[in-house]
A and B are shown apart, each in its own frame.
Chain A
Amino acid sequence: MTDFRDLSLQGIWKNNPALVQLLGLCPLLAVTATVVNGLGLGLATLLVLVGSNVTVSLIRNIVRNEIRIPVFVMIIAGFVTIVQLLMNAFTYELYLALGIFIPLIVTNCAIIGRAEAYASKNSVGAAAFDGLMMGLGFTLVLVLLGGLREALGGGTLLAGADRLFGPVAKDWTLTLFTTEHPFLLAILPPGAFLGMGLLIALKNSIDAHIAARQTVVHQKATRARVTAEN
């Protein structure tokens, strides 16, 4: 049980693929102009990650070490193709909006990184859970960055939600403010880099805050133990 807790913590916070490992930045920076685009690509990556982790874990004792990387890539490419065809069928407009970045999930280092570092060494259940948590961590950052850029750049949130969730979501768009001068920088590529930098800085400062607190507690605990041992 603690194993799963640790995996969740690693995937979403401590070892977040986007904020800590800085993997998969290309799609991350390119598609996060809106929340919906970010969520769409995040979910697609999540599906591929779970699928590839499970498959890699299943074949980990069959595939010879020398040819493991090409095999991993083939597996990932297979799952990406599945996701791409599914998106083409069910969320066609989002499929058009994300464009080349769906097939490019193949080259997302976060996925092959998990296959190599975790799935090829662990059991199916743990690998699947690791894929899920890493995928969620990645999706979370995509959604946050998308939200930040969309809110700053156009004053809306969840614009075009129907492209992902179907006609039900037609009026999910939240309008925070309307302006005739949108802050274009946030939507343009520099906005992605700046936003990403700020998110990483925020995470690091939260970590530093937590660490500062824990040292105090830790010191007290150490003293208590030393006296007990004596």
Chain B
Amino acid sequence: MKLTLSSSPHLRTRRDTGQVMRLVIYAMVPGILAQWYFFGWGVLIQAVLAVMTAVLAEGTILSLRKKNVERALSDYSAVLTALLIAVSIPPALPWWMTVVGTLFAIIIVKQLYGGLGFNMFNPAMVAYVVLLISFPVAMTMWLPAAGVFADALSLADTASLIFTGFTQHGYDITQVRGAIDGVTAATPLDTVKTGLTQGATYSELLSRDIFNTAFFDAMGYGWGYVSLAYLLGGLMLIRLRVITWHMPGSMLLAVLVVSLVLHLTNADLYGSPLFHLTNGAVMIGAFFIVTDPVSGSTTPRGRIVFGALIGFWVVIIRTFGGYPDAVAFGVIIMNMAVPLIDYYTRPRTYGRTPRNSARGGQQ
């Protein structure tokens, strides 16, 4: 029998970083397919563009830092970051904005802080916020959820729109948005946000076209199914034990509780829990973004606090802030609070009870 001596830790993980990242990427497939189905070819083009940019940028920076490029690239973290950016941005965003956002995520947010494992902010979400505050108009130009088979925009048309700013027939993004359903398409969150400021009540807004065709009335058409697809992928990840339930569970619960409290105080002003849970980025955020192992909290109790506070901020900023969606802002705010959360939620050292640690422990 051969005995091997090795230093601690003796427990081995079953998966390395690359495998975990790949599983997360596979779990995103249902959501990406749903986005492709409802919002057209844009999401796939953006994904290819973002992944290529991210891998190139990561490789360049790593070789500048004289690191093992091949090993670092094979952890797939850059690919995952790129995919998260690609699914968060409007599908017909001009190509160079996607490139700028991805470069910012990889070079400034990730590599300048020391690469994978050292970045204190979630790269994809910082990229999203950078793009949102830099190009507010382009970043809110969502195409209507017409469905890819509704003869909306062909693959070639979408590519031409992204890379030249015009479709093959010379229409720009504003004309495309107007032409499909006759009115300027907004996202469900946008519709409610603007509608409320114009004096409509929440229930009146739910009778708009963008909600009507959905399964439940508070679920935006297309958006609700995309959310469900990400929920499915997320449950798969929990089942495969890639992520734990702590962060997504506490975040979704917080969104539910906070929005329910607001909704019960005034149903005309504040959206229902279902509206908040199934629209915008809450579902993908809860399972794919908040669960980032690097920039999130690391203690079990800390994860619950971290997730719950993100959920809290999402509803609060959506309701009272200037932007319709807030997952990115919530994540970034809480990323800053992670050291504090970790400090106060350190697990008890084995053998220490509150009583004997008050005496200074047993050394």
Contact = CB atoms under 8 A, between A and B. Distances in A.
Interface stretch (B30-38, B132-140, B245-253, B260-268): B132-140
Interface of B: 94, 97, 100, 108, 130, 133-138
A194 B113 CA distance: 13
A184 B132 CA distance: 10
B108 A184 contact: no
A166 B97 CA distance: 37
Interface in A158-189: 181, 183-186, 188
A181 B108 contact: no
Nearest to A194: B108
A181 B94 contact: yes
Contacts of B130: 185
Contacts of B100: 183
Q: With a 10 A CB-CB cut-off, give which of A183, A185, A188 has the most chain B CB atoms.
A: A185
Interface in A181-206: 181, 183-186, 188, 190, 194
A185 B134 contact: yes
20 contacts: A181-B94, A181-B97, A181-B134, A181-B135, A181-B137, A181-B138, A183-B100, A183-B134, A183-B135, A184-B133, A184-B134, A184-B135, A184-B136, A185-B130, A185-B133, A185-B134, A186-B134, A188-B133, A190-B133, A194-B108
Contacts, number: 20
Contacts of B94: 181
Q: With a 10 A CB-CB cut-off, give which of B108, B130, B138 has the most chain A CB atoms.
A: B130
Contacts of B136: 184
Contacts of B137: 181
Contacts of A190: 133
Interface string A67-85: 0000000000000000000
Nearest to A153: B134
Nearest to B94: A181
B324 to A, nearest CB: 18
Nearest to A184: B134
Contacts of A188: 133
Nearest to A187: B134
B193 to A, nearest CB: 21
A184 B134 CA distance: 4
B161 to A, nearest CB: 15
Contacts of B138: 181
A59 B130 CA distance: 51
Nearest to B135: A181
A180 to B, nearest CB: 9
Contacts of A184: 133-136
- Give 10 nearest A-B pairs by CB, closest first: A185-B134, A184-B134, A181-B135, A183-B134, A185-B130, A181-B138, A185-B133, A184-B133, A188-B133, A184-B135
Contacts of A181: 94, 97, 134-135, 137-138
A45 B100 CA distance: 35
A186 B133 CA distance: 10
A175 to B, nearest CB: 19
Nearest to A186: B134
Nearest to B138: A181
A129 B11 CA distance: 66
Given A185-B130, A190-B133, 10 more contacts: A181-B94, A181-B134, A181-B135, A181-B138, A183-B100, A183-B135, A184-B134, A184-B135, A184-B136, A194-B108
Contacts of A186: 134
A206 B100 CA distance: 26
A194 B138 CA distance: 23
A66 B97 CA distance: 58
Nearest to B130: A185
A195 B133 CA distance: 17
Contacts of A185: 130, 133-134
B108 to A, nearest CB: 7
A185 to B, nearest CB: 4
Q: With a 10 A CB-CB cut-off, give which of B100, B130, B134, B138 has the most chain A CB atoms.
A: B134
A70 to B, nearest CB: 39
B206 to A, nearest CB: 33
A188 B108 CA distance: 17
B123 to A, nearest CB: 15
Interface in A82-114: none
Contacts of A194: 108
A126 B133 CA distance: 47
A183 B132 CA distance: 10
A82 B254 CA distance: 57
B163 to A, nearest CB: 15
A153 B1 CA distance: 68
A90 B248 CA distance: 61
A212 to B, nearest CB: 15
A188 B129 CA distance: 13
Interface string A207-220: 00000000000000
Interface in A122-154: none
Contacts of A183: 100, 134-135
A143 B123 CA distance: 30
A188 B131 CA distance: 13
Q: With a 10 A CB-CB cut-off, give which of B94, B133, B138 has the most chain A CB atoms.
A: B133
A75 B95 CA distance: 55
A183 B94 CA distance: 13
